[in-house]
A and B are shown apart, each in its own frame.
Chain A
Amino acid sequence: MASFTERSALAGLATPGHCGRAGASGLTVAERTDIAFANVTARRGKRFMLVNAVNTAFGVALPDGPRRTTVGSVTFAGTGPDQWLASAEAAEAAGFAAKLRARVGPFAAVSDQSDARLVLQLSGPRVRDVLAKGLAIDLHPKAFKPGDVANTLIAYVGVQIDMLDDATWQLTAPRSMAGTFWSWLSASAAEFGYDVVTIGDA
């Protein structure tokens, strides 16, 4: 019987350590592989029931529009009309899509997306300057605040950007394009110097 080891989206593409300009660290990058994702789309006419079910099950008030709401280790981010990307960390992560389906099944379509994405969390003094090299969205503190979410393009790669808190952004991109995305990110961050702290479980 086979036993399968995981391979992270960035495995083989990046290694932990300092890159780019020496003696400067404008950006810190961590790959996350421990967050479970699921796409949730309300069944036709069932939005209100879904809102209630999510509230009951997770204590989360489903955000209206491109915002994210986190309660405990479960997050719902608005990604489109009647559509959310749910995510879970720690104990909630295992079998998250199945649990979600069990709780909101009659009111929503649920699709496991835990493996579909490269997930990076970015922090550091030059995050905005790095992202400005590919992101057409205004990240000024007045324009994009903690909890804001956007689905857009960077370097012709579809990305979702979530502002987690004052200092941390989460970027997700299609797993198959991890190499292309990393090529852009590493080139864009090089002039500020950057530190890769985790790749997969490393």
Chain B
Amino acid sequence: MSSHRLNSGGLIERDTPLSFTFDGETFAGFAGDTLASALIANGVRLVGRSFKYHRPRGVMTAGSEEPNALVELRSGARREPNTRSTTAELYDGLVAASQNRWPSLRYDIGAVNDKLSRFLVAGFYYKTFMWPAKFWEMLYEPLIRQAAGLGRAAGMEDPDHYEKAYAHCDVLVIGGGPTGLMAALAAGRAGARVILCDEDFRLGGRLLGERHEIDAKPCVEWVAGVEAELAAMPDVRIMRRTAVTSVFDHGQYAAVERVNDHVAVPPEHEPRQRAWKIVAKRAVLAAGALERPIAFGNNDRPGVMLAGAARTYINRYAAMPGQRLAVFTNNDDGWRTAEDARVAGIEIAAVVDSRSQPPAQFLALGVKAMTGAQVSHVHGGLGVEAIDVIDAGGRTTKIACDALAVAGGWNPAVHLTCHLNGKPVWNEALAAFVPGAMPDGMRVAGAAGGSFKLADCLSEGVAAGTMTAIECGFRIAAIALPNTEDEATAIAPLWHVKDSHAKAFVDFQNDVTTKDIALADQEGFRSVEHLKRYTTLGMATDQGKVSNVSGLAILAEVSGRTIPQVGTTTYRPPYVPVSFGAMSGHHRGKDFRPTRLPPSHQWATEQGAVFVESGQWLRAQYYPRGAEKDWLETVNREVTATRGGVGVCDVSTLGKIEIEGADAAAFLDRVYCNTFSTLPVGKARYGLMLREDGFVLDDGTTSRLAMERFVMTTTTAQAGRVMQHLEFCHQVLWPALDVQMVSVSEQWAQFSVAGPRARDVLRRLVDEKFDLSDKACPYLAAKEIAVGGVAARLFRLSFSGEMAYELAVPARYGDAAMRAIMAAGDEFGITPYGTEALGVMRIEKGHVAGNEINGQLTARDLGLGRMMAKKKDYIGRVMAQRPALLDAERPALVGFKPVDPKARLRAGAHFLKVATANTIDNDEGHMTSVAFSPMLGCWIGLGVLARGPQRTGEHVRAYDPVRNGDVEVEVCDPVFFDPQGARLHG
């Protein structure tokens, strides 16, 4: 048996022994232990080092509020820093290590900070590291990070799976203690859908650490009975190990379920953690209360523990915080720790009560009671050895003990009532903040609302559960109130012991002492929010659950104000730390966002294509072959082969929208700057769409399939944006038009077959009855045809400048169509090309794309001003006429060729006159797109240049300071290849 394990009692499974290691030493524990309880049972008091002063620290609490006993749990890629040992369930083989110490926990070099502490007072960052400012990044920050900080991240990818999930209910009960159990029972019996969340692995809350009787049986037995009834209700869901962390509008709550934190490795296929979003019509907050410490000299020594926690370790875990326990209290509850410890056989050194007249029942317990007295100092370095007690007469007595339980009173866990801006209110009788205005749909019950007596918790739980169920439309269910005895809960607040000389800690995790608070006040940081930032009070991973109220009470004292005058800082979500894993869930790596695969993806993969992300799409970028040494060689081949024979490219990613209705043509006339109502059936037209502000939104072709039916294509990048724009125009601007639209982007696989032999390839593919001759199917024809009996569409469109067709087939045939095109083109040497070759060919032809349609250029800037119809109105018409947009000096689209044909051009380079300084004032525009043109044998570029179209033949510099580029270029027409467009017609 471990040195500090009681021989009997507790909720541990003594027939399931477990072995674990802490800092390399092996210990024994039981199932049902936490790491903290197992360490205590083994007599381990020193568990960690503090953040700033590297002071030795031990376990202080028994819950998620723990500030001190943080460890690195597990090892390797699963190493998890700053894990609260008080909530880490023990499992066999658990490995934990202390953190923020070197070379060892007992002998920590960093502890010298404690001796230097007068230089490390509140705000020392701001005072010490002021000058020179440039040293911050190089020197100060790395130094501070090295010295301070807590655990180390694993530094490897987390091997575990996380997920998110949604749940819905009528009544969400937050907290599975006596209040929450009764609330869930009342609502559940009424027939409501109930979710009961508790962060512990066992229901019962405070009852697990108490010796109360309910209905004349031990309270833990009563808990089991209620739990069994709840578990049998089909519409009640009990969620253990689930902390509700955040409250959002409209009854939405965030929670984190630690599904498999209590095992070494999650079982196969199971997640480690699950982030829940719970949507509840109503919620009952039964989160209980958190005990607070009292500040006195060396109140952070290992062995000093909150009194309620000490009781939990004794009653729930059968673990003795010490063999000779002293209690320091300002309230009745502290006495219960002495009582329970004594029952467990622990020697009570003394109960020090700061009140002069505690209730007589406690004085009759037969333990050494010191009333009107305060603990002023703790002796012992790595653990409590004795305490100094100053009695009412001012005399100091030294009392030997190895553990000290501190009862400073209880703070209702009001956090979740504040996430929607609620402010807690001070209750003088309880000496605590209680919830103020509640969030919509939430009510509070039990200790979270300031009702600390068990009987009140039970009755308030019933009332809250009943009321919320009624509000959800259910009828009251019969429920009998359990019987309990009434316990004493009186308190006379004491925040800190003024006679202490050694450091008296308020915020243990961030090493904030009473002196820091006084200093902050003295230096003018009197607003509680300033106090927080200046001292870092409450800013650690525990978010000041233990420390905040004491901190502001002390600020009130030193600044001569009342606690309500000082007020509280803002409570923000989450209530407990949430891992990034849980927040991202399934969505990491390749699942970070959706990937869209075009219909020929499988085929392209088989060809060894290199892919590129294009928005959500994964597109074939180029298809390397044989010994090609780089992408440029491949792309040159693809372009040359297409222009010399025939090529094929998957263009399914273009947005496709069917637009139908009596007013469809009128609608298109309004959304495009050029005219579509004159487009004959069976023909396609290039269209340019402007935004309201006159800038170009998107371009593409729209074909008329029937008088009242069109199919529009958009660019890949803007497909969603255009659909949204059209819907807006129809629904908001012109609801009177008879026009219906629907995306068919997913329905059709579409392939561009381009090059002089394109028609030959298509002829072998398209069903014979369809005439593909130039006469029957000329440039810009749009036909509904059939391919192998499959209904298809054929568009005579060209982005490459070659004679080209876009063949559309239903998507399920996309893969087959690509293979069929390749087979049909085999005899003509058909070459698949990717987005790179597509880009090269459109730049050779001076066609604009996303680089030019960037939201900052107008139709006029792009040389497309002639497309803007004069005889009709359309979106963007008026705003495009703004004087600045008509300024002759505005950069406009032209082409560029390097004067030295071997020079490489770079997109993004800025244009400067040949003999001017490289200043922004001399800037004349920039290069938008570049490509190596195999047709011209040199790099070419498109760009916008001030008065560009009038400067053909002029030389300017393409200056690129980012990549040290400075290339003299000649301004030319943007159409580099086949300027007459002869090739289009084949």
Contact with A along B627-642 (1 / 0, CB 8 A): 0000000000000000
User: Which residues, 665 to 693 on B, are CB-close (under 8 Å) to A?
Assistant: none
Cβ contact within 8 Å between B816 and A5: yes
A4 touches B816 (CB 8 A): yes
Determine the interface band of chain A, counting residues with CB < 8 A from chain B. Answer: 35 or more
Distance to closest chain A CB from B165 (angstroms): 5
Closest Cβ of chain B to A163, distance in Å, is 15
- Flag if A176 contacts B598 (CB, 8 Å): yes
Residue of B164, B168, B269, B787 touching A138 (CB-CB under 8 A): B168
Q: What 4 pairs between A and B have smallest CB-CB spacing?
A: A109-B740, A109-B660, A116-B746, A44-B738
B594→A155 contact, CB < 8 A: yes
Identify the stretch in A6-14, A55-63, A68-76 within 8 Å (CB) of chain B at 4 or more residues: A6-14
From 242 to 287 in chain B, residues with beta carbon under 8 angstroms from any chain A beta carbon are 268-271, 277, 279
Can you name the residue of chain A whose Cβ is closest to the Cβ of B168?
A: A138
B573-588 contacts to A (CB < 8 Å)? 586-587
Query: Which residue of chain A has its CB nearest to the CB of B788?
Result: A2
B595 at the interface (CB under 8 A from A): yes
Find the A residue at minimum CB distance from B598. A176
Chain A residues within 8 Å of B789, by CB:
3-4
Across the interface, name the chain B residue whose C-beta is closest to A46.
B738
Is there contact, CB below 8 Å, between A138 and B602?
no
Q: Which residues of B contact A39 (CB under 8 A)?
A: 742
Instruction: Give the Cβ gap from A77 to chain B, nearest Cβ, in Å.
Output: 14
User: Which residues of chain B from 583 to 632 have a CB within 8 Å of any chain A CB?
Assistant: 586-587, 590-591, 593-599, 602, 616-617
Q: List 18 A-B contacts (CB under 8 A).
A: A1-B767, A2-B820, A2-B823, A20-B269, A108-B740, A111-B660, A112-B810, A113-B746, A115-B812, A132-B165, A133-B586, A138-B279, A155-B591, A174-B596, A174-B746, A176-B746, A178-B597, A181-B594
Among residues 149 to 199 in chain B, which have CB atoms less than 8 Å away from a CB atom of chain A? 161, 163-168, 193
Per-residue contact bits, chain A 166-194, to B (CB 8 Å; 1 contact, 0 not): 00000000111111110110011011010
Query: Which B residues from 734 to 788 make CB contacts under 8 A with A?
Result: 736-742, 744-748, 765, 767-768, 787-788
B269 near A4 with CB under 8 A, answer no
Is B504 in contact with chain A by the CB < 8 A criterion?
Answer: no
* Closest beta carbon of chain B to A157's beta carbon, Å: 5
* Shortest Cβ gap from A196 to chain B (Å): 15
Could you say which residues of chain A place their CB within 8 Å of the CB of B593?
156
Distance between Cα atoms of A153 and B709 in the complex (Å): 30
Q: Report chain A residues within 8 Å CB of B597.
A: 176, 178-179
Flag if A7 contacts B602 (CB, 8 Å): yes
List A contacts of B167 (CB < 8 A): 132
Taking beta carbons and an 8 Å cutoff, which residues of B are in contact with A?
161, 163-168, 193, 268-271, 277, 279, 586-587, 590-591, 593-599, 602, 616-617, 658, 660-663, 709, 736-742, 744-748, 765, 767-768, 787-790, 809-817, 820, 823-824
Q: Are A188 and B594 in contact (CB under 8 A)?
A: no
Q: A132-B166, A174-B596 are in contact. List 18 more A-B contacts (CB 8 A).
A: A2-B820, A4-B816, A7-B602, A44-B663, A112-B810, A113-B744, A114-B810, A115-B746, A133-B163, A133-B164, A134-B164, A137-B166, A155-B594, A174-B746, A175-B811, A179-B597, A180-B595, A183-B586
Q: How far is the CA of A67 from the CA of B89 in the complex (A)?
A: 47
Q: Does A117 contact B (CB under 8 A)?
A: yes
Q: How far is the CA of A143 from the CA of B281 in the complex (A)?
A: 13
Question: Does the CB pair A184–B586 fall under 8 Å?
Answer: yes
Listed residue (B599, B709, B740) with the most chain A CB atoms within 10 angstroms of its CB: B740
* Distance of B928 from chain A, by nearest CB (Å): 29
A112 touches B747 (CB 8 A): yes
**By the criterion CB–CB under 8 Å, are B811 and A140 in contact?**
no
A residues near B815, Cβ cutoff 8 Å: 7
Question: Least Cβ distance of A11 to chain B in Å?
Answer: 8
| A51 close to B (CB within 8 Å) | no
Task: Give the residue name and chain of the A residue nearest to B735 (CB).
Answer: A44
Residue of A42, A44, A176 touching B596 (CB-CB under 8 A): A176
Q: Is the CB of B594 within 8 A of A177?
A: yes
Chain B's closest residue to A133 (CB) is: B165
A111 touches B744 (CB 8 A): yes
Interface flags for A98-116 (1: CB within 8 Å of B; 0: not) read 0000000000110111111
Q: Does A145 belong to the interface (CB within 8 Å)?
A: no
CA distance A21 to B587 in the complex (A): 21
- Report B-chain residues with C-beta under 8 Å of the C-beta of A11: 602
Q: Which residues of B contact A135 (CB under 8 A)?
A: 166
Q: A7-B816, A177-B595 are in contact. Are A1 and B746 (CB under 8 A)?
A: no
Q: Is A136 located at the chain interface by the 8 A CB criterion?
A: yes
Q: How far is the CB of A37 from chain B (nearest CB, A)?
A: 9
Q: Which residues of A contact B788 (CB under 8 A)?
A: 1-4
User: Smallest CB–CB gap between A72 and chain B, Å?
Assistant: 24
Which residue of chain B has the shortest Cβ distance to A110 in the bound complex? B660
With A1-B788, A41-B742, A44-B738 known to touch, is A115 a contact of B810 (CB < 8 Å)?
yes
Q: With A1-B788, A20-B269, A109-B660 known to touch, is A6 a contact of B812 (CB < 8 Å)?
A: yes
Residues of A within 8 A of B (CB): 1-9, 11-12, 20-21, 33, 39, 41-45, 108-109, 111-117, 132-138, 140, 142-143, 155-157, 174-181, 183-184, 187-188, 190-191, 193
Q: How far is the CA of A117 from the CA of B747 in the complex (A)?
A: 8
- Best-surrounded residue of B165, B598, B812 (most CB of chain A within 10 A): B812
Count of inter-chain pairs, beta carbons less than 8 A: 159
**B270–A191 CB distance below 8 A:** yes
Smallest CB-CB separation from B163: which chain A residue? A133
Tell me whether A4 and B813 are in contact in the complex, defined as CB-CB below 8 angstroms, given that A117-B746, A179-B595 are known contacts.
Answer: yes
Question: Cα distance A198–B728 when bound, in Å?
Answer: 40
Q: Are A136's CB and B166's CB within 8 A?
A: yes
B811 touches A115 (CB 8 A): yes
| C-alpha gap A132/B596 in the complex (Å) | 23
- Closest chain A residue to B252 by CB distance? A136
A25 to B811, CA, bound (A): 32
Kindly report which residue of chain A lies nearest to residue B814, judged by CB atoms: A7
Return A178 CB to nearest CB of chain B, in Å: 8
Please determine whether B166 and A187 come into contact, CB atoms closer than 8 angstroms. Answer: no
Distance between Cα atoms of A184 and B163 in the complex (Å)? 10
**Nearest-CB distance from B735 to chain A (Å)?**
8
Contacts of B823 in A (CB 8 A): 2
Q: A43 and B809 in contact (CB under 8 A), knowing A3-B788, A4-B817, A180-B594?
A: no
Measured CA separation A153–B591 after assembly (Å): 15
B161 to chain A: which residues have CB within 8 Å? 187
Question: What's the Cα separation between A2 and B167 when bound, in Å?
Answer: 51
CB closest chain-B residue, reference A98: B791
If the complex has contacts A109-B660, A155-B587, are A4 and B809 also in contact, measured as CB distance less than 8 A? Answer: yes
Chain A residue nearest to B809 (CB atoms) is A4
Determine the distance from Cα of A6 to Cα of B787 in the docked complex, in whole angstroms. 13
- Rounded to whole angstroms, the CA-CA distance of A156 and B163 in the bound complex is 14
Which residues from A are CB-within-8-Å of B165?
Answer: 132-133
Q: Determine whether the beta carbon of B661 is less than 8 Å from that of A109.
A: yes
A157 lies within 8 A of B594 (CB): yes
Closest to A179 in B: B597
Q: A43 and B820: CB pair below 8 A?
A: no
Inter-chain contacts of B662 with A (CB < 8 A): 43-44
Write out the residue numbers on chain A whose beta carbons fall within 8 Å of the beta carbon of B587. 155-156
What CA separation (Å) do A153 and B737 show in the bound complex? 30
- Give B654 Cβ to nearest chain A Cβ, in Å: 12
Given known A7-B814, A41-B742, A113-B744, contact A155–B168 (CB-CB < 8 A): no
Q: With A and B bound together, what is the CA distance between A44 and B708 in angstroms?
A: 13
Chain B residues closer than 8 Å to A8, beta-carbon distance: 812
In the complex, A179→B618 CA distance in Å?
A: 12
Task: Provide the bound-state CA to CA distance between A63 and B902, in Å.
Answer: 67
User: Nearest-CB distance from B158 to chain A (Å)?
Assistant: 15
CB pair B812–A7 under 8 Å, yes or no, is yes
B709 CB contacts on chain A under 8 angstroms: 109
Q: What is the CA–CA distance of A75 and B392 in the complex, to the nearest angstrom?
A: 86
List chain A residues, Cβ under 8 A from B599. Answer: 7
- Chain B residues within an 8 Å CB radius of A181: 594
Max chain B C-beta neighbours (<10 A), residue from A9, A109, A190 = A109
